[in-house]
Amino acid sequence: MIRVLVVDDHPLVRAGLRALVETAGDLLVVGEATSGEDAVAAVRDSAPADAPDVVLMDLSMPGIGGLEATRLLTAAETRPHVVVLTSFPDPASVRQALAAGAVGYLLKDADPATVVAGVRAAAGGGAPLDPRAARVLLPSRDAGGAGTSAAPPASSSSPPVDPLVTGREAEVLRLIARGRANKQIAHELGISERTVKAHAGSVFRRIGVADRTSAALWARDNGF
Q: pLDDT tens for residues 124-149?
A: 988 898 888 877 665 444 444 443 33
My answer on whether 6 and 113 are in the same domain is yes
My answer on whether 6 and 75 are in the same domain is yes
My answer on whether 11 and 107 are in the same domain is yes
Q: What is the pLDDT of residue 155?
A: 37
Q: What is the mean pLDDT of residues 42-70?
A: 93
My answer on whether 107 and 176 are in the same domain is no
My answer on whether 14 and 112 are in the same domain is yes
Cα 153 → chain centroid: 26
Q: How far apart are CA 88 and CA 181, in angstroms?
A: 25
My answer on whether 18 and 90 are in the same domain is yes
My answer on whether 20 and 118 are in the same domain is yes
Q: Per the structure, how many domains does the chain have? A: 2
Q: What is the mean pLDDT of residues 113-124?
A: 93
User: Does 141 fall in a domain?
Assistant: no
My answer on whether 74 and 107 are in the same domain is yes
- The CATH number linked to 164 is 1.10.10.10
Q: How far apart are CA 70 and CA 79, in angstroms?
A: 10
My answer on whether 18 and 118 are in the same domain is yes
Q: What is the mean pLDDT of residues 70-96?
A: 89
Measured torsion, CA atoms of residues 40, 45, 50, 51, in degrees rounded to the nearest 10: 40
Residue 209 sits in which domain range?
Answer: 148-221
Q: Please name every residue paired with 82 in a beta bridge, in sequence order, or none if there are none.
A: 55
Lowest mean pLDDT among 31-45, 96-110, 147-161: 147-161
Contacts 24+ apart (CB under 8 A), 141-145: 141/217, 141/221, 142/221
User: Does 12 fall in a domain?
Assistant: yes
User: Does 131 fall in a domain?
Assistant: no
Q: What is the pLDDT of residue 216?
A: 83
Q: Confidence class of residue 159 from pLDDT cuts 50, 70 and 90? A: very low
User: Does 134 fall in a domain?
Assistant: no
